[in-house]
Amino acid sequence: MILGAIASGSLLAACDRPPPQPERPPTPKPIASNAPIASANPSAPENQIQKTQKTQKDLPPGVIAEAKGISGSLIRVEEADEFRILTIDGVLHAARRNRGEYNPFSPFADGDPMVRLLLAARDAGISTALLIGLGSGATATELRSAGKKVDVVEIEPAVIDFAKRFFDYKGEAVAADGVEHLKQGSKTYDAVILDAFAGTKLPSRFVEPSAVAALKKRINRRGVAVVRMLARPSDPDVSAAVNGIGGAFAHRRLLASGAGDEEQNIYLIASDAPLNLIYFNELSLWPIPIPAAGAPSSPEGIKAALLSKAPQKIALAGYLVRAEDGSLSLDLPHWEMGSRRYALRGPDEIIKELDKRLPRKTKFVTAGDLSTDGNLATTLYAMLGGGGVKLSLVRFSPVVAAVSGTLRERTEPYAGPGKPGEVDLSGPGRPTKLAKGIGDGVRAEIVIEKIHFTIDLPAWKSLRQGTTRPFVARAVAAATKGQLGQAAVAVGEILGALDKKLGSFGPRMVAYDELLVMHEALSANANQNTTAGAQNAFDRAAACDRADNAFRLGYASPLYTPDSQSRDVLPIDEALLACAERGYSAVVNDPTAGGDLKTKAAARLVSVLEDKLFEIPAGQDTRSKPVEAQIQALKEKFGVKADDKPPP
């Protein structure tokens, strides 16, 4: 965990922060804990700490603990203003607020961007993680708070000790070399996170071929690798990590917290499975180009970039909205409070062209329990997503635009403390004011250089009606019969049609992303039915059951309100459930089926029916009552309950 040199205060808010807290943080505890250190060789590191730590009276002013690391580094815990900080050789690795009122808009209340990035990429698909590099323990704690099982490796025993004694870390950690731990172990994880530093750099040993091979063996099939670096995008270390670690995977993304070629926090995320990109817009991180192998920028190029401040080039897709003064903005899909809104600037001909494509007198509704909420069916909500939570200020539009250009400036929409670029929701009437004033929610400006495409509601409906829906019908028919390979082919045709229309922006759209996950779920469970009789029916049902389960876990889609447009993926998922229900029912009612097989089928059938019941809107008793009665009859006849384990 690293934040940057102590003098670099601008990097402080971008890294290691405590997880969100609902109340004022507790008063720091007295230095009294002597919790044992979990270690690969417990006695030696613990003895070493005792020998190298100084007593309080021997420490410089402001330093409350100090120890020599096993590599000779100087590890300190210091009190600085209202913060407690962890430094290693003068480099800030962790910070937490010690006093003052809890402010939910403070950078220290927002959580670790690396954890948010990990959950954005895979979310429900992550249950286990290996974290290399402990820091204050905030990252490990936040992962555990999100329900993940985390193993931690930290090379410095003193860091483990200080995390427990001074930063309230309650977990365990193994004191060991991270590279050797990767090579010598065999346990696999859904995520392996590298948050280790030598000074301010990722240790070069982690990008050696043997270390990368060991890392990949420790990651499950759909798992991800995440790396945090403190560097300039042009640094050779970034290129080495991206092409060494990232190059070992089929999919990789590079995101950064700063602008241009300044020193900033850079995050690499890589996986052999497609990454769920639609959430990346919410992280206050910016996608940056993948560097070419072995081709970092020259020193002259870096100097020129720094002198010119190297404006950040970005490409975004979002809702095209018009403010009260007639100016145009782009609202990114966003599933939390507030909004991610960018004012559009650029040559007159580009702005006029965009303005012409947005109908006059358009109402830009919200979906945040506000007076500005409206009918989402009049917008492209089903294509792009967003909203659906209290105080969401996303403005939905009947026009979606994809543009690229330069991020000219970052703005702070309000004065005073808080998260840079975040919308201030505090104060009486503030959310209402922001909801009514589109221009009040702008966080930055984009100078547009190119319009990649715009699509309006009639064009989207025409594309679905004439191109995607025939393939949806084929996918539904095949999935209903358990012919998952044919269903996957049909979904692939839909994705091909969307690729032609949306290009590289496709994966940022909910409509595309959820179909991509469905395609993977269908493909992974196709052609697995080779048995006969009752076992054949069970295996076919189980394949449909697994595909449905994989889609729901892999996508973890945001909530959709009842007045939203139908989504192409929903009838396919419903067909999978129908296939599973019919197959399990056939086994339950088959007189030739064995007792054990019937019991297994009954338990899975109860689980499928409960999923079906969950999808029925409240108040529709004519639909829900028969399902409830069927569930109760199965439980009484077979003495089973819903099988909460993954489908067989």
Same domain flag for 301 and 230 = yes
Structure-model confidence comparison of residues 12 and 3, the more confident one: 3
Model pLDDT, residue 445? 83
- Tell me what pLDDT residue 85 has: 84
* Residue whose pair of structure tokens reads 């506000």 in the numeric block: 370
**Mean pLDDT lowest among 153-167, 324-338, 595-609:** 324-338
Work out whether strand 91-97 and strand 399-410 pair parallel, antiparallel, or are unpaired: unpaired
Residue 627 has pLDDT above 90, yes or no: no
pLDDT top residue among 246 and 437? 246
- What pLDDT, on a 0 to 100 scale, did the predictor assign at position 301? 39
* Final residue before a domain boundary, out of 287, 305, 323: 305
Residue among 124, 185, 168, 184 nearest 18 (CA): 168
Look at residues 337, 322, 138 and name the one whose alpha carbon lies nearest to residue 228. Answer: 138
* CA nearest to 232, candidates 288, 194, 315, 293: 288
Q: What is the pLDDT of residues 441-460, one digit of tens each?
A: 676 788 999 999 999 999 99
Buried b (16+ CB within 10 A) or exposed e, 574-588: bbbbbbbbbbbbbbb
405 touches 446 (CB < 8 A): yes
Residue 187 confidence (pLDDT): 96
Instruction: Please report the pLDDT score of residue 119 as a whole number.
Output: 80
Same structural domain, 284 and 363? no
Q: How far apart are CA 470 and CA 464, in angstroms?
A: 9
Distance CA 329, CA 326 (A): 10
Whether 139 and 226 have beta carbons less than 8 Å apart is answered as no
Q: What is the pLDDT of residue 29?
A: 26
Please tell me whether residues 126 and 170 are part of one structural domain: yes
SS (H, E, C) 27-51: CCCCCCCCCCCCECCCHHHHHHHHH
Distances, alpha carbon 472 to alpha carbons 260, 431, 459, 482, 488, in Å: 43, 40, 18, 15, 10
Question: Domain check: are 20 and 132 in the same one?
Answer: yes
Tell whether 373 and 286 lie within a shared domain: no
With respect to residue 253, please indicate whether it lies within any of the assigned structural domains: yes
Determine the Cα–Cα distance for residues 644 and 149; give it in Å rounded to an integer: 19
Q: Are residues 212 and 297 in the same domain?
A: yes
Dist. CA 642–CA 467, nearest whole Å: 39
For position 423, what pLDDT does the model report? 41
67 and 198 in a common domain: yes
Give dist(CA 638, CA 183) in Å, integer: 48
Do 163 and 116 have their domain in common? Answer: yes
Residue at 466 is within a domain: no
- The helix/strand/coil state of 432 is helix
- The pLDDT of residue 50 is 46
Average pLDDT of the segment spanning 309-330: 82
Q: Return the top range by mean pLDDT from 19-33, 199-213, 247-261, 546-560.
A: 199-213
Question: Does the structure show a pLDDT above 80 at 40?
Answer: no
Give the highest mean pLDDT range of 30-34, 201-205, 352-356, 507-511.
352-356
The pLDDT, as a whole number, for residue 405 is 87
Crossing angle for the helix pair 595-615 and 569-588, nearest 10 degrees? 150
Q: Count of residues for the chain?
A: 648
Residue 267 counted as domain residue: yes
Looking at the 3D structure of the chain, how many domains does it have? 3
Does residue 11 have a pLDDT over 60?
no
Mean pLDDT of the 171-175 span:
95
- What pLDDT was estimated at residue 560? 45
**∠ CA 496-560-428, rounded to 5°:** 130
Cβ atoms 341, 441 nearer than 8 A: yes
| Consecutive H or E run containing 641 | none
pLDDT in tens, 535-557: 889 999 999 999 988 887 765 44
Pick the range with the lowest mean pLDDT from 293-302, 383-392, 544-553. 293-302
Between 434 and 377, the higher pLDDT residue:
377
Q: What is the pLDDT of residue 616?
A: 77
Query: In the prediction, which pLDDT does 623 show?
Result: 86
Strand partners, 373: 366
For residue 450, the model assigns a pLDDT of 93
- Whether 63 and 184 share a structural domain: yes
Please tell me the predicted confidence (pLDDT) of residue 646: 60
- Rounded mean pLDDT, 337-348: 84
In a domain, 98, yes or no: yes
Residue 463, in any domain of the structure: no
- CA 230/CA 199 separation, integer angstroms: 10
> In this predicted structure, what is the pLDDT of residue 535?
86
Give the tens place of pLDDT for each residue, 516-538: 889 988 998 987 665 667 788 99
**Among 574-583, 600-609, 617-626, whose mean pLDDT is lowest?**
617-626
Mean pLDDT, the chain, integer: 77
535 SS3 class: helix
Asked if residue 297 has pLDDT above 50, the reply is no
User: At which of 273, 305, 337 does a domain end?
Assistant: 305
Residue 508 lies in a domain: yes
Tens digit of each residue's pLDDT (9 = 90 or more) over 398-439: 999 999 888 765 444 433 333 333 444 444 444 444 445 666
Residue 14 near residue 265 (C-beta atoms within 8 A): yes
Last residue of a domain, one of 270, 305, 340: 305
Q: What is the pLDDT of residue 6?
A: 26
Q: What per-residue confidence (pLDDT) applies to 421?
A: 38
Question: What CATH number is associated with residue 158?
Answer: 3.40.50.150
**Do 378 and 289 reside in the same domain of the chain?**
no
**Both structure tokens of 282:** 């919410």
When pLDDT is averaged across residues 132-148 and rounded to a whole number, the result is: 90
- Which of 55 and 122 is assigned the larger pLDDT? 122
- pLDDT at site 509: 84
pLDDT more than 70, % of the chain: 71
| Residues 274 and 319 reside in one and the same domain | no
Residue range(s) defining the domain that contains residue 629: 481-638
Whether 197 shows a pLDDT value over 80: the answer reads: yes
Same domain, 447 and 519: no
Across 297-317, average pLDDT: 50
The C-alpha atoms of residue 316 and residue 448 are separated, in whole angstroms, by 10
Residue 462 lies in a domain: no
pLDDT digits (tens, 9 = 90+) for 97-109: 665 443 333 333 4
Q: Is the pLDDT of residue 305 over 80?
A: no
Look at residue 177 in the predicted model and tell me its pLDDT.
96
Q: Please, which residues have CB within 8 angstroms of residue 508's CB and are 6 or more apart in sequence?
A: 277, 278, 281, 317
Helix (H, G, I), strand (E, B) or coil at 504: helix
* Residue type (1 letter), 477: A
Q: What does the pLDDT average to over 242-259?
A: 84
568-588 pLDDT, tens digit each: 888 999 999 999 999 999 999
567: in domain:
yes
